[in-house]
Chains A and B, each alone.
Chain A
């Protein structure tokens, strides 16, 4: 894509005045996208807020009920559990994924035989549906009929989904298994963009491998770490498919993250009002966290967004 824009054109593009007059007829081009996006994106976003101030049992009429659904949702002790589970999974998978992706990204940025092949194979988990991944691990780790039982390896042969701690651990592992490849690719690209002169200069100063990693590579990757962390955080916030197929929130409520709690409250207990309140909380937590991460990133994400606009 960069080949499409030779430098000379870039210059003329930035100096040319924006054509304000012709916009009128072009607006029609946005109408189909706008209509469907509004109907199934914007309206539902406002709708979920509106529904959180109603009660609806999924069959009868929708009744305005003030703050009833909110008090019901907030008084439910399970909400606190869901928040805790969500943050636990988010924190643990960040702790696992970030160092692994950075190290693998640095590794993949080097030139060696089979590098291309590795990059291709690493990507495979991202192609699979969460449902397929969850089912595979469930079968593989089944305490009675899985690999662990057959091989007689005590570590594998545990009741992974029956124990609260093990279930959370397994979930974190599977999330990492699925998404480390993606973050590795992001870091690989970022490592390659680090100016070589920095390493050359550090060599003259006598810096070793490890010193170079901590003094050059890691600081240079800080914006990438923010981007990648934002994607990880927002991703774990909306984790649903994997949990639903793997544990359905169990054992007990050990893996009942916010999205799972919302689904169970709404579509199983038929309490659409409180479920909508949980959904609003989900959106608010997501927005807050991504704002915090953006601040940490020093506003660079903001600039590049603006450039895109």
Chain B
């Protein structure tokens, strides 16, 4: 079918060069994380470690890594699960109640949310969190994270629910199912691929979130991974292998998740943007 889309030498060269550009810093950070500090200074920086060591990882773990990791897990799970759940319910209502004036306005409100940059509203969010006496808690990060995950989730989920054949909904109704029952027993299983995509996408952006933890927490006990990395950098100073180990350690969970959910994420994203 794509007979004309053959490989060309220019694109080929550029493509493989780009792979090198993408992979070189990642390769460097991984091999450096296994070097001793003394070894790092005397060997070629891009050569693999002569005598690999796990000491750097021990240093990072002894410096609160487990706590930061758990904080990130709590924030991510605590925001993504409720966000996708409420967005799913709202999407169901928006699709099934199409034509209702109120639901149409509510949908427009969520779409407007796509245009609100998080950075621009961080000051009032900070004020609200202080007034709610939640400053420096993980909940302070979770609540705005839920809010900012909702618009895109509603957009993507509504598009998927719209693809469920209308006849299926009608037959559920004829059988006397409530909207709640239809939501759970029909829409939920049929839109599972979309739900997984939305979960992965939101989890990624919340896991990597920086400005909310920076503004809404202050004590080391509440640090999430991106913020922890930033402070590790100060703590480890010129101990480059330890810094490399902290970067590697925080990145491994995401890479594992990517390896597991790659197909889902990529196809979901392409579908979401092509619409």
Using a CB–CB cutoff of 8 Å, the interface residues on chain A facing chain B are 1-2, 4-6, 9, 12-13, 16-20, 22-30, 32-34, 36-37, 39-45, 47-48, 51, 62, 100, 103-104, 106-112, 118-125, 127-132, 135-140, 142, 144-147, 150-151, 177, 180-181, 185-186, 189, 191-192, 196, 199-200, 203, 209, 212, 227, 234, 237-238, 240-241, 244-245, 259, 262-263, 266-267, 272, 275-276, 279-280, 282-283, 286-287, 290, 304-305, 307-309
Contact = CB atoms under 8 A, between A and B. Distances in A.
Nearest to B194: A1
Contact of B23 (A12, A121, A241, A307): A121
Nearest to B158: A308
A244 B210 contact: yes
A22 B240 contact: no
B167 A9 contact: yes
B210 A241 contact: yes
A110 B144 CA distance: 42
Contacts of B244: 136, 139
A129 B124 contact: no
A96 to B, nearest CB: 12
Contacts of A29: 89-90, 92-93, 179, 183
Nearest to A156: B45
A304 B147 contact: no
Contact of A140 (B28, B254, B255): B28
A309 B148 contact: no
A104 B89 contact: no
A90 to B, nearest CB: 14
29 contacts: A1-B193, A1-B271, A5-B165, A9-B166, A19-B98, A20-B100, A23-B99, A29-B93, A33-B89, A33-B90, A37-B113, A47-B123, A131-B226, A132-B247, A135-B246, A138-B233, A139-B240, A145-B41, A150-B41, A151-B46, A177-B21, A196-B1, A245-B210, A262-B119, A262-B120, A263-B122, A263-B211, A272-B123, A309-B107
Contacts of A241: 210-211, 226
Contacts of A259: 119-120
